[in-house]
Structures are given as C-alpha cells and as structure tokens.
Amino acid sequence: MNFSEVFKLSGLLCKFSPDGKYLASCVQYRLVVRDTQTLQILQLYTCLDQVQHMEWSADSLFILCAMYKRGLVQVWSLEQPEWHCRIDEGSAGLVTSCWSPDGRHVLNTTEFHLRVTVWSLCTKSVSYIKYPKACQQGLSFTRDGRYMALAERRDCKDFVSVFVCSDWQLLRHFDTDTQDLAGIEWAPNGCVLAVWDTCLEYKVLLYSLDGRLLSVFCAYEWSLGIKSVAWSPSSQFLAVGSYDGKVRLLNHVTWKMITEFGHPTTISNPKIVVYKEVEKSLPPGLGHLSFSSSRAAPSPRATFESKYEVASMPVSLQTLKPVADRANPKIGIGLLAFSPDNSFLATRNDNVPNAVWVWDIRKLRLFVVLEQLSPVRLFQWDPQQPRLAICTGGSKVYLWSPAGCVSVQVPGEGDFPVLSLCWHVSGDSLALLSKDHFCLCFLETEEGVGEDDHT
C-alpha cells in the first residue's frame, strides 16, 4: 500500500473523472486537473471566485465549477482548454448546480427555489422549470440518463414531474400523498421511483414511470420516521433507515418488508465478528514502519499504532445520549450503502457513532461490526468488489473486506485528518481528503485487504 505526496485542496473538492483518467481538485479559485497515473498537472483553470461546488460531466470531457455566493457557474473543457462557458444567474441567485446525464446541459436552481434553469451548452438555449421543492433530495435522474424526476410544491401540495432529458418535455405530472416530501430517488433500473415523507411522518411511496402508485409502506406512527434511503444496485431491495435505529428492507416483487435490522448496543451472538480498534504505543522511531510509503517519508513523531482486535463476547458498544430538545438529534440510521455486488449493506446508527455494521444480504443477518476509537464520518464501498473504506477524521484510513480489516496510518509530516474519501472507478486507489490537503492511497489489487488482515 503506497501513498502519493500531499497536494493542496479547498472545500473538500476533489473528484476522479467518471472514466478514471483524471483527478480534479480545487484550491480557492483555481481548478487543477491531474493525470491519475502520474499525478502530473494536465490543465490549470482560473475561476472568477472561490469554487463551492465542482462536478464532472458523465463523459469526463467537461467540468462544472459553481460559485454560489456570486450566482455564477463556469464550465471548462478538457479537449479545448481555451474554450469555456460562463453562466450568470444574476439577481435570481444560485443554490445548487448539476449536470444532466448527457453532459451538455447544466441545471441551476435559483435562490428560494423559484425555478430550475436548464442551460444547453450546444444550442445555448434556456429552459425554465417552475416550482421546484426545497428539499434535501428533490431531483433524480434514471441511470440510463433518459428521464429526470423533480419534486415540486404547488398550492401547499407535493407533486412529482417526470421529464424526458433529450428535449426537456414533460412526460408525467402527478401529486404525491405526502405531508412534506423529503426526497425522491429512482431505482437503478429506472423502473420505480421511491418518494419519502418528512421525518415527522413515516411513509415511503413507490411509483412506476407512468406515475402509478405501486405501494405505500409505513412502519409505525407518532414518532420520528425516515432518516436515510438506499437502493441496492440490482434494484431488488430498498433499504429504509429510521430514527428508531432500524433498517427495513423492502423487496421489489410485493414492495413489502422482508426483514428489519436492529442495532443493539450489546452483541452476544458468537457468530458475529466484532473488530475493535485499539491503539498501542510503539518504541520511539518505529511509527508507521509497517506501512511506509514509497512516495512519502514516514513521520518520526508518530508513537501509536492502531490495529483491529477481535473482541470476545459479549460486546457493549459505546453509545451517545442524544440531546432531546435540539433539532436533528443524533439518533437513527444516518448512513447506509450497499456493496456493488449486492452482497452486503453497511450502516451507521448515529447514537452508536463509533460503529459500522455490515449485514449479509444473502443470509439477511448481521455479519461484522467494526468499532472505531472515534465517531465514523464516512464510509464508501469499492466500486469493483465488496471492500469498504472508512474515515473518522483522524490520520488513518480503515479498510474492511470479507478477508479481514486493517487500519492504515497516512504517512507524512504532521497530522493528516481524513475528513472524506472517494474511490477511483477501478478500485485501485483512494483519494483521501483533509481540510486543506489531499493525497492518493494506492492499493494492491490481487489480494485486496486480505494481506493485512488482523483476524
């Protein structure tokens, strides 16, 4: 396992291109594009202000940089570096900006969610879509890029409009039986749209492409409801994470619940493996030596080694007592994600913040629990295999696969708190992001994590 040198970064804006050839990062008002193999700078663009959002087009030919404070979007071309596009929303302001799936249209949402503006890079035409709803996940594209669903709010009622992305014509418009729609998301196969209600009302509605209501799911009433939702890559399961600390799996045939995963704070089942991160002091000068990098010198100041140990049963996990009189209480399933092969589901229960739970989807049971020393900030699956990367805001990155798990110190001078991470499309490398810097972690692909497992 090797690490690159450390590069400057702003706003955690660092992303691999969809084809895996390039790595784009932002430093204040500059956009830097590197070759992922050599990390040599290929292009350097200067934006009009500090970039707050950056996004690749699906074909990896263009990069969008949004400056929300100025109401500006700039688009840069990799094939023609001298060409660029500037979109100014003027007094309407700007709160979000994103690509259409064809990579030739930019969708901007104005302040106060007055409208969505569709800008064409090819024809320079502009289309307007009124009444977009101000919610966390109010816009969703099908994976094949043919359709877009948009959550709308008119006359104190929720609606969903489905548009054809080729010409932005309205295909379907229907109202939803929601009190205050909180999010929408297409299944990966593009056949079903999941719509869920505000956390004050537990309700998931499933609609077909033509707007027919297929099913309604409600697990309980009179308590905080849905916190997170995720489709399995095969579209066979919809996982619904709730404030009651459970994940419920709905199946794609009847849209009924097939099982629910609880997150008990005490684990006593001997079939479940619990890995606990432990920190052990090292003799002076031995820090990092087992993970020394060919690209960065190990830090002589590190005197602690972190590793996983298999805990003996029963295990009591560290819990966090939520503050009941504040908004967004630290309870419930805040993160959940399926592995790319549909084999596993990883979850985080926010009032057990140091633990990652990995569920076996084929056997519908808990498989592994990883308990970290610090609260889990983020986890993300390798795009090619069931391998999970975890960061906790410390100077280590954690990897789990069915072969075992490992804790890896990020080498270099001083601390490198890993606040976020993202995988290369091949699964061969990881970008590790801190507040002001980023580096790449290169993984061996043959054995994955198994070489370093601590089982």
| pLDDT tens figures, 205-244 | 999 999 999 999 999 999 999 999 999 999 999 999 999 9
Mean pLDDT of 244-250: 97
Residue 103: predicted pLDDT: 96
Residue 301 has pLDDT above 50, yes or no: no
Reduced DSSP (H G I as helix, E B as strand, rest coil) percent helix, strand, coil of the chain, to 5: 5, 45, 50
What residues form DSSP beta bridges with 425? none
| pLDDT tens figures, 139-184 | 999 999 999 999 999 999 999 999 999 999 999 999 999 999 999 9
- The yes/no answer on whether domain 131-262 falls in CATH 2.130.10.10 is yes
Residue 283: predicted pLDDT: 59
Q: Are 273 and 366 in contact (CB under 8 A)?
A: no
What is the distance between the alpha carbons of residues 436 and 34, in angstroms, rounded to a whole number?
Answer: 17
Q: What are phi and psi of 113, to 5 degrees?
A: 50, 45
Percentage of the chain beyond pLDDT 70 is: 92
Residue 40 has pLDDT above 90, yes or no: yes
Q: What are phi and psi of 395, to 5 degrees?
A: -90, 30
Cis peptide before 314 (omega within 30 of 0): yes
> Domain map of the chain by residue range?
131-262, 269-281+304-409
Q: Which of 64-68, 89-93, 360-364 has the lowest mean pLDDT?
A: 89-93
Residue 101: predicted pLDDT: 97
